[in-house]
Structure 1
Amino acid sequence: MSRAPLLHASPDQIAAAARRVMARCDELARVTATSGRIERVYLSPEHARVNRLAAEWMRELGMRTWQDAAGNQVGRLEPAGSSRIDQRAGGHRGPALLLGSHLDTVLDAGRYDGIVGVLMALEIVRLLRMPDAASERWTSGLPFAIEIVAFSDEEGTRFGKALLGSSAVAGTWEPAWWDLTDADGTTLHRAFLEFGLDPGRIGEAARRPDEIVAYLEAHIEQGPELDRAAEPLAVVSSIASARRFQLVVEGEARHAGGTPYDMRRDALLGASEAALAVERICAAEHHIIGTVGRFEAFPGAVNVIPGEVRFSLDLRGEFDGERDRVWGSLSQELDAIMGRRGLRWRSREVHAAPAVFCAPLLQDVLRAGITQTLPSRREEPPVIFSRAGHDGMALGAIADVGMLFLRNPDGVSHHPDEAVSAGDVAHGIRALAESVLHLAAEPAR
């Protein structure tokens, strides 16, 4: 693969693009359901507002825009020399390279997770169309269309099911999801109607594999590897497999003062020992991460021994087999813990996603993009696997997936202290634009 630089853009133009991304991240951060913190969940008024903003920015670049049947915001620009264009919402001719990420957030979120990837994609379009940004065609002669997709529900914050927007695009929507409810008891089906979407048309969001050249996403690393290595960018090799469980430990609620220790069946102590076992077993494994993120004791009175505890388990791994083997070990350990304490436990799996491996060609073009962006490097760019989930996990069902990571100082994410520098965003914009051009120069597949 050629390593010659293909992007004709000055450092000042790249710096201006990065400043625009940072300013728009700030602008989107002000679209929130809760004053003083960032909160944007699926099918909310805030979701509608950021979609309108994204559509406005897409149209500024000459893109045709629509909101699809799942609430994802999409913009499309046809390739050079394209003939008749289907102007219907969602209409398209010929395959497109998809760029994007998500605009929804967790509760009390940072302002860059997902968002920076959508905004960088907009700047890629701007750079590749120079100098005639008002034209309705590419000036760089790309052989495929470009679509930017701002996915609507990567986090799963409202209904507890992640990747809803991208799953709809991948054609893997499950009818059982319509019965999911939020904290107020509103079903997903009802929320669709209230948002102005038709649940009966959800299939229209699905895309066919022959409509997609590939999917490329830029994202902050949600961990510290790049920061520790003093590296601004990395190629992603794969996205971790994941399984999530809701676990219940049952004991016996009795008087805190009147029940001697030899008669206690304390569900909280058993669940606490189980949580420590998750840390001990997973920490001993390579690339397996287990997290207990939610922990509730019942009846919850200060003078009552807890008779029931409910807690969550998020289990991730680079490979599905290793992840499943660790779950087997954890299950055996929980059997032993509860047996010693006279307790019972049960689990319900609420989410499962296989590992998604990034396509070798896309890793190559991203590597070429980073090399052209950072020409003084003496070594190949770093390659790391993503321990966090992304929309590419769903898109992998219908398209090759590639990801570019940007350095995240101290690795903080899903938190207001989440950060990325304008300088690293500038590097990421150039690297991703170079990657698109290297992909366009590849022989037709």
Structure 2
Amino acid sequence: MTETAVHTAFSQGELGQVLIDRLDEAARCSAPGPGVTRLFCSQAHHQVLPLISRWMEQAGLTPQLDAAGNLVGRCPKAQAGEKTFILGSHQDSVIEGGKYDGMLGVALPLLALEALKREGMTLPFGIEVVAFGDEEGVRFPTTLVGSKALAGSVTPDQFEAQDSEGTSLQDALIAFGCSPDDIPDIARDPANTLGFLEVHIEQGPVLEQRDHAVGIVTAITGIERHKVTLSGKAGHAGTTPMDMRHDALVGAAEMVLAIDSVLQRTDELVGVVGRLEVHPNAVNVIPAQVTFTVELRSPESATRQDGREAVTAALETVAKRRGLTINVENTYSAEAVACADWMMTALEQACIQVGQPAERLFSGAGHDGLAMQALTDIGMLFVRCKDGLSHHPDEAITAEDGESATRVVMAFLQQMGEP
């Protein structure tokens, strides 16, 4: 079905440059410092909402901030309750991250929809594009709050999570203008949801090695995160004999090496100790307590379990030998999920239609699809990124690859609309 185009259609090559320009503009919505720092319910998050809202309106969608901090754009069919296909990704970033992780999957589908609109195309089903509020889990020790809200799987304990300044997620949402009590009401009806597609930079080197602009994701890795609290005893750094110390930092340093050793010798398991806090953190005081995080990732739950058990045993051995008390708390866990066969096939056909190779690959990073899979079928399209670099200010894609990915999404949606 078509309608008269109001605007001139995008010319070949123009889409990619428009996409890059929009992502550059979004990157200015950031806390000061290198790269992009845009945390959940922060000032930078608030600053980016009008920009995304404008993109949504240009695509023919009506934007609305929901109870979980997601900005949702809906077409008239979706607003009327017709069966709806969801696209989107997250607006939040890591600290000093890049321009494209997350935000690419917001800007690109909106541009694809705007391009289809300019070409006079009307899809026979509803469309939602979601800029999820929280995916990275940087500000609060929880993650995927926005996508879990749509899937109806948010748990009450997530709202008790506190940031480094003691602000709870519940209070942060209220201060942001959201109503956490209404989150159960925004869960989507699985019977009315056609699927979910996310476009994302690969965050790895495979597409660059293959010299392909895009790739079709087969599955998303499982992830678990743990908070380790190691307690020793403070003391004067100049008067306490070395053999009488219970130094939490020395113990933590040994534990970090032990964790790395487990990861190095276990196939298909990766992980990181990404955050470490020392108390009292004084120049002449033996550290009394250290808190650090451990993240483990694997596509196989059994591999992750074996790795977790090996890590835990190593930590307990170090703690016992050094006279330290240890507490390990699981703060996040998500099983690996597979992308739907029909979406992978449809994306392959769309790639062929626009003249792009359509090889498949696995995602070693977590994404909102981990939560959305509880609601509906999921699919992912990866876009090549320079040197496979992500979570870094130098993260980069080309306008040409952005153009190719946008046209793949256009072709995918058009195919879905064919009888």
Match of 1:131 in 2: 119
Match of 1:400 in 2: 377
Q: 2:162 & 2:48 partners in 1: Cα distance? A: 23
Match of 2:88 in 1: 100
> Structure 2 residue aligned with 1:422, among 399, 403, 416?
399
Kindly tell me: are residues 398 and 341 of structure 1, through their superposed partners in 2, closer, same or farther at Cα, counting changes over 3 Å? same
Match of 1:145 in 2: 126
User: After superposition, where does 1:144-293 map in structure 2 within 5 Å?
Assistant: 144-293=125-274
Kindly tell me: are residues 242 and 54 of structure 1, through their superposed partners in 2, closer, same or farther at Cα, counting changes over 3 Å? same
Q: In structure 2, give the amino acid aligned to 1:167.
A: K
Q: 2:79 & 2:124 partners in 1: Cα distance? A: 18
Kindly tell me: are residues 51 and 344 of structure 1, through their superposed partners in 2, closer, same or farther at Cα, counting changes over 3 Å? same
State whether structure 2 residue 277 is matched by structure 1 residue 296.
Answer: yes
> Does structure 2 retain, via aligned residues, the 8 Å contact 1:159–1:188?
yes
User: After superposition, where does 1:111-122 map in structure 2 within 5 Å?
Assistant: 111-122=99-110
Q: In structure 2, give the amino acid aligned to 1:74.
A: V
Match of 1:27 in 2: 25
> Does structure 1 retain, via aligned residues, the 8 Å contact 2:70–2:130?
yes
Cα offset, 1:129, TM superposition: 2.8
> Does structure 2 retain, via aligned residues, the 8 Å contact 1:68–1:204?
no
Cα offset, 1:125, TM superposition: 0.8
Q: 1:46 & 1:339 partners in 2: Cα distance? A: 44
Question: What RMSD in Å do the two structures reach over aligned CA positions?
Answer: 2.3
Cα offset, 1:161, TM superposition: 1.6
**Could you list the per-position Cα deviations for residues 84-111 of structure 1 after superposition, in whole angstroms to 9, with x for gaps in the alignment?**
x6xxxx8432211111111122222211
Give the secondary-structure state (helix, strand or coil) at the position aligned to 2:143.
coil
**Could you list the per-position Cα deviations for residues 328-382 of structure 1 after superposition, in whole angstroms to 9, with x for gaps in the alignment?**
111122222333333332201111111121111111112222233335x5xxx33
Give the secondary-structure state (helix, strand or coil) at the position aligned to 2:104.
helix
Kindly tell me: are residues 356 and 425 of structure 1, through their superposed partners in 2, closer, same or farther at Cα, counting changes over 3 Å? same
> Structure 2 residue aligned with 1:438, among 398, 415, 418?
415
How many residues were matched structurally? 412
State whether structure 2 residue 371 is matched by structure 1 residue 373.
Answer: no
Cα offset, 1:166, TM superposition: 1.2
> Structure 2 residue aligned with 1:18, among 12, 16, 29?
16
Cα offset, 1:235, TM superposition: 1.0
Match of 2:37 in 1: 39
Q: In structure 1, give the amino acid aligned to 2:40.
A: Y
Kindly tell me: are residues 194 and 307 of structure 1, through their superposed partners in 2, closer, same or farther at Cα, counting changes over 3 Å? closer
Cα offset, 1:222, TM superposition: 1.5
Cα offset, 1:11, TM superposition: 11
Higher mean Cα deviation, 159-168 or 36-45? 36-45
User: After superposition, where does 1:277-426 map in structure 2 within 5 Å?
Assistant: 277-374=258-355, 377=357, 381-426=358-403
Cα offset, 1:260, TM superposition: 4.2
Cα offset, 1:119, TM superposition: 0.9
> Does structure 2 retain, via aligned residues, the 8 Å contact 1:365–1:436?
no
Cα offset, 1:220, TM superposition: 0.4
Match of 2:55 in 1: 57
Higher mean Cα deviation, 31-40 or 143-152? 31-40
Higher mean Cα deviation, 345-354 or 56-65? 56-65
Q: 2:45 & 2:9 partners in 1: Cα distance? A: 34
Gaps of 5+ in 2: 1-7
- Percent sequence identity over aligned pairs: 38
Kindly tell me: are residues 399 and 263 of structure 1, through their superposed partners in 2, closer, same or farther at Cα, counting changes over 3 Å? same
**Could you list the per-position Cα deviations for residues 411-439 of structure 1 after superposition, in whole angstroms to 9, with x for gaps in the alignment?**
22122111111111111112222222334
> Does structure 2 retain, via aligned residues, the 8 Å contact 1:41–1:158?
yes
Give the secondary-structure state (helix, strand or coil) at the position aligned to 2:89.
strand
Match of 2:4 in 1: none
Q: 2:416 & 2:365 partners in 1: Cα distance? A: 26
Gaps of 5+ in 1: 1-9, 79-84, 133-137
